[in-house]
Amino acid sequence: MAKAKTKFSCQECGYESAKWLGKCPACESWNSFVEEMETVVKTQGMNAPHMKTQEKAISIINIESAQDPRILTKNSELNRVLGGGLVPGSLILVGGDPGIGKSTLLLQTSHALTENGLKVLYISGEESARQTKLRADRLGAMSPNLFVLCETNLDHIIEAIDQLNPDFIVMDSIQTVYHPAVASAPGSVSQVRECTSHFMRIAKIKGIATVLVGHVTKEGAIAGPRLLEHMVDCVLYFEGERHHSYRLLRAVKNRFGSTNEIGIFEMLESGLVEVSNPSELFLSERPMGVAGSTVVASMEGTRPVLVELQALISATNFPTPRRMSTGVDHNRLSLIIAVLEKRIGLFLQNQDAYLNVAGGVKLDEPAVDLAAAVSIASSFRDHPTQPYDVIFGEIGLTGEVRGVSRIDQRVKEAQKLGFKRVIMPEKSLKGWTPPKGIQIIGVNTVSEALSAALQ
């Protein structure tokens, strides 16, 4: 016999409690507990028939290695983020702010797959069929192999999948689907977990590549329990400012590829268009001859990207100066300022420091340290850097400049965009021949880099 009981679940992280709590002890969010009904079924012990497994353990050397061919989406940016294309039977979770372009990207991808002869099922739980048709008309995504289903009942969705037997499924969004056997409301932790597990079984058993669209919280994380990200094979975040035209697609989890790749798109009236040269896009509005502006060569996966670093140093009347950074780790900024004060002698204790990565890109590799230090020193001394310099390198606590990887790709990208000099760690020059037409300056300390950049 099944016995129903009440539990309280946090809608942010999935923490469960027997009573209502004002603040979640796991994620520390307020007023996030919702009452849910839980069904407990008593079993007959470990020897019950449904507890016995049908699979037998075999040696790993006896398992056949079979790699399914990937499905190309005719979008090189999306293929790069996915690791080379869609993997049949994979479950992909796509998250992003409302109105950022998730549905536009997936509808364009669905249309591109239908041109390859695949059958696509686009399930919409938030829009009607007419609304989806209006978007498809605007994007030019009209194909007889693209089927649209507006349904939120999981049983009806599974029945439609069995009848159609598609090659690719899009569920927009997972928070709108509900299972009739679960008493919770759609979007709750129990519903999201149960519905995702059903889609996972469909993807693995039938070999259908499935994409789930997930809502995000005010902090930018995908709504629902963290278990949701553990169940899927790939987690993609669609980032960007709604007031800007470009978008970033970043992989934070990928079982079939790298998690360092990013895809860059531009939002136009006809939909999302891939950007083949992101460095030129990020440097298009760069001012010339302004103090505090430098260009850094950063690696995003296997792609070199040139972006502009801007620093502003201004005097403050408060006893504690502000340290603010956008696109760079705040703790990294404090470390660089401490090195400049101790090793270079810059008096920044009574100065507010602001560091910004132009274009909204997030840089998390240590190779941007040297460019950030040069930007801060340039703004503090009110001395502009050379407009055709590219700077990169890691800074140590003793003021030394450490080597970084993928030197040849960074320098070739700078040469392609017309830069004349590259200031980089001297330790990275070993075993590598610089190309002709660009000057390479190797430095060992931060002091040498400042002397070369602010001459």
257 token code pair: 């590829």
Looking at the fold, whether 257 and 334 belong to one and the same domain comes out as no
Label residue 142 exposed, middle or buried (CB < 10 Å: 0-12, 13-18, 19+). Answer: exposed
Question: 226, 242, 276 — which closes off a domain?
Answer: 276
Label residue 259 exposed, middle or buried (CB < 10 Å: 0-12, 13-18, 19+). Answer: middle
CA–centroid distance for 415 within its chain: 28
Edge-to-edge strand order for the sheet containing 16-17?
Answer: 16-17, 2-10, 33-41
Looking at the fold, whether 91 and 121 belong to one and the same domain comes out as yes
Q: Which range marks the domain in which residue 448 is found? A: 281-453
CA–centroid distance for 347 within its chain: 37
Please give the C-alpha separations between residue 307 and each of 294, 368, 405, 410, in angstroms, as whole numbers: 9, 10, 18, 12
pLDDT given at position 4: 62
Question: 276, 291, 307 — which closes off a domain?
Answer: 276
pLDDT given at position 13: 74
* Share of residues in the chain with pLDDT > 70 (%): 91
Cis amide linkage into residue 173, ω under 30° from 0: yes
Residue 54 lies in a domain: no
28 token code pair: 């520390």
Residue 159 lies in a domain: yes
Question: 255, 276, 297 — which closes off a domain?
Answer: 276
pLDDT given at position 219: 63
Q: Is 257 annotated as a binding residue?
A: no
Q: Is 19 annotated as a binding residue?
A: no
Q: Is 96 annotated as a binding residue?
A: yes
- What CATH number is associated with residue 301? 3.30.230.10
Q: Is 98 annotated as a binding residue?
A: yes
Q: Is 95 annotated as a binding residue?
A: no
Model pLDDT for residues 167-176, shown as the tens digit of each residue: 999 999 898 9
For the segment 411-424, the average pLDDT, to the nearest whole number, is: 93
Q: Is 224 annotated as a binding residue?
A: no
- What CATH number is associated with residue 111? 3.40.50.300
Q: Is 396 annotated as a binding residue?
A: no
Looking at the fold, whether 194 and 287 belong to one and the same domain comes out as no
Looking at the fold, whether 354 and 430 belong to one and the same domain comes out as yes
Q: How high is the mean pLDDT of the chain?
A: 87
Looking at the fold, whether 389 and 293 belong to one and the same domain comes out as yes
Q: Answer whether residue 215 shows pLDDT above 50.
A: yes
Closest CA to 371 of 430, 452, 427: 452
Q: Is 103 annotated as a binding residue?
A: yes
